[in-house]
Chain A
Amino acid sequence: MTTEMKLPFDQEYITSFSKEMGEPEWLTELRVQSLEKADTLPMPRPDKTKINKWNFTHFNKLIVKSDEFKSLEELPEAVKPLIDADHSNSVYIQRNNKPAYLKLSAELQEKGVIFTDMYTASRMHGDLLKKYFMQSAVKADENKLTALHAAFLNGGAFLYVPKNVTIEEPIQAIFLHDDAEANLFNHVIVAAEDNSSVVYVENYISTVDSADSKVNIVSEVIAGANARIQYGAVDTLAKGVTAYVNRKGLAGRDAQIEWALGQMNDGNTISENVTLLQGDGSYGDAKTVVVGRGDQVQNFTTKIIHHGKNSEGFILKHGVVKESATVIFNGIGKIEQGASKSNAEQESRVLMLSEKARGDANPILLIDEDDVTAGHAASVGRVDPGQLYYLMSRGIPQAEAERLVIHGFLAPVVNVLPIEGVKKQLVEVIERKVK
């Protein structure tokens, strides 16, 4: 079933926008082609969630005007604590569609590390960007929304780590949504060449209470042979924001990609997190925690696909659902033929805090190879009365006991976030959302 969708901006508009931004020809072309294809491509089909009535595509403004931040002092109060001013030497802050602040340590620049906004990347590092941009991880013609993403691209960041470079301190990006009329088609690339390693942490944060914004996020994470990428994210987009999130990783031989995603949006969200374990000996770990509240509907698909031999994939998803919200977890471990000695494990659990909450955890194992190991655990239920009894028997009141159990349940992502301020923010968001 396809609903007729009139796209808000045409070829002419997109072309002149791209030219105005000084983008290389290939990008202008990709935008135009994608816009054309978007017409006929199907919508993504998240299992168990109907999205045919969701509005991902109708919006008025491709770009809103926002000011830069001259210094970190000017940041809104909600953003300041995310940044550890003494230690964060590499931060990108984007305000709606506007690159608003950028800092990359001199040391990393000397080592050849590139970290910049997407517009600058396309102008200054066009050839390098072209190698990665919607080529191997997320393809522009994957579905209608990825095509629209390519066509309407209006922000994002590019992080490139050369061979043999190990970056100890986390690289941080903050995508601030403080204009209810803004729409984000935000693209992030984290590319780590052979034997390199990097930790990247991003926040999508709304400071407006509610908005009718469309947010279409694509992240492409590419780890070369023996590279390691740790990717942390905390999403806190406002009520009313319709979000499509597609974060995809590609791991080469002996490469490691580890995701820690705190997906705390207050609006309807469709999220895909896919890791392709292409190389032999590659490793993928995808952790996601989620809270659903109000009447929001969210669908999270986490998929790890094993092509390489001896590859290992771990999926952990924990979700808390209250009020009349819906949270659907689809976990897919897929082992392709030839990926012998691989291991695919997953655990998906949903805690329901109210009668009207809806939750679902669907673990799927698709295995085309004999010599592998795989396992899954899934549950949908309420807070364990036995656990509450135990905590209360030590004097802890019921409400506090519930709070402890819930925070513990969501701890797997909180604990691995490498930036103290972001970790604290996630804890506070959880606190606020589950209360």
Chain B
Amino acid sequence: MAGSVLTIKDLHVEIEGKEILKGVNLEVKGGEIHAIMGPNGTGKSTLSSAVMGHPKYKVTQGTITLDGEDVLEMEVDERARAGLFLGMQYPSEISGVTNADFLRSAINSRREEGKEISLMKFIRKMDSQMEFLEMDLDMAQRYLNEGFSGGEKKRNEILQLMMIEPKIAILDEIDSGLDIDALKVVSKGINEMRSEDFGCLIITHYQRLLNYITPDHVHVMMQGRVVKSGGPELAQRLETEGYDWIKQELGIEDETVGLEA
């Protein structure tokens, strides 16, 4: 079967009664890599949280579907099992739960009872992915993200991505706080995932990640909307010229959203 399709139409999202997303339209298909760029406070994380179903974010209008299925009807865990993945900007720390136990639960949640992944097979897969991501193998037995550095947390998000193999992933600022070596490793992981069966939406406000991962589509978000879309050349132009030209072109003074009194 060919890749999946995540379709976002006219999405409006409120948080604590304030409208943050004001009509987002986007389609991500298997085999495609999209980048969403934009300055801070323009609604990028809100979009990713709304897709994953964070309870604080309220969808007031519009639709999200995955291969035609209504994502908004699903609980967070159902969305994940349907094939969505969110690499979070700020991953939680969970004491007492080892990285390995957590990942095994995540994988087994997709399998029927009695058909759980064998321990051997799991360990082999985890070891090889950790080696690929140049992670210390003892990270498997450390508690989930507890005491991890910023870079280790991001690497761990990519490890989860590679272990879980979702259909569509959103990676929210997976590049922030990474030094150049870590950035290369994280990019290597994402590139490794590239296939017809995998679609990805990379959220970033730096172009530098895109030096390692060439996106098929680039979108710019401002004021809670996608205000411009293009190919990889759009990211290049943003790198050299910044965002001001877009604001001028569109007559935007303040690109942020939700801060107005």
Q: Which residues of A approach B to under 8 Å, CB–CB?
A: 384-387, 389-398, 400-401, 404-405, 407-412
Contact = CB atoms under 8 A, between A and B. Distances in A.
A395 B143 contact: no
B52 A391 contact: no
Nearest to A415: B96
Given A390-B91, A392-B76, A396-B77, A407 B106 contact: no
Given A384-B92, A396-B109, A397-B109, A408 B97 contact: yes
B80 A405 contact: no
Given A394-B80, A396-B102, A405-B94, 5 more contacts: A394-B102, A394-B109, A404-B94, A409-B95, A411-B95
A51 B81 CA distance: 50
A404 B102 CA distance: 8
> 10 smallest A-B Cβ distances: which pairs?
A408-B96, A411-B96, A395-B80, A390-B92, A408-B97, A394-B106, A392-B76, A392-B77, A395-B109, A395-B81
A122 to B, nearest CB: 42
B101 interface: yes
Contacts of A405: 94, 97
B143 A394 contact: no
Contact of B76 (A393, A400, A408): A393
B75 A392 contact: yes
Contact of B143 (A393, A401, A408): A408
A395 B164 contact: yes
B81 A408 contact: no
Q: Which of B88, B94, B164 has the most CB of A within 10 A?
A: B94
Contacts of B4: none
A384 B55 CA distance: 13
Contacts of B55: 385, 389
Given A390-B88, A392-B77, A395-B80, A408 B94 contact: yes
A390 B105 CA distance: 13
A135 B258 CA distance: 68
Contacts of A407: 96-97
Nearest to A407: B96
Contacts of B164: 394-395
Contacts of A386: 92
Contacts of B46: none
A384 B91 CA distance: 13
Contacts of B85: 393-394
A398 B92 CA distance: 16
Contact of A389 (B54, B95, B103): B54
B96 A396 contact: no
B160 interface: yes
A378 to B, nearest CB: 16
Given A385-B55, A400-B105, A393 B96 contact: no
A384 B92 CA distance: 10
Q: Which of A385, A386, A393, A409 has the most CB of B within 10 A?
A: A393
Contacts of B33: none
Interface residues of B, number: 29
B200 to A, nearest CB: 16
A282 B128 CA distance: 44
Contacts of A395: 77, 80-81, 106, 109-110, 164
A387 B94 CA distance: 7
Nearest to B83: A395
A411 B91 CA distance: 21
Contacts of A401: 77
Interface string B32-66: 00000000000000000000111100000000000
Nearest to A408: B96
A325 to B, nearest CB: 21
Given A397-B77, A400-B109, A391 B96 contact: no
Q: Which of A386, A392, A401, A404 has the most CB of B within 10 A?
A: A392
A156 B99 CA distance: 41
A14 to B, nearest CB: 47
B143 A396 contact: no
A408 B143 CA distance: 9
A435 B250 CA distance: 56
A412 B94 CA distance: 13
B101 to A, nearest CB: 7
Contacts of A411: 95-97
Contacts of B183: none
Interface string B70-86: 00000111011100011
A124 to B, nearest CB: 44
Contacts of B160: 394
A407 B76 CA distance: 22
A398 B77 contact: yes
Contacts of B105: 391, 396, 400, 404
A404 B91 CA distance: 16
Contacts of A408: 94-97, 143
A410 B96 CA distance: 7
Nearest to A406: B96
Contact of B52 (A393, A400, A412): A393
A412 B97 CA distance: 11
Contacts of A385: 55
Interface in B87-120: 88, 91-92, 94-97, 101-103, 105-106, 109-110
Contacts of A396: 77, 80, 102, 105-106, 109
Contacts of B92: 384, 386-387, 389-391
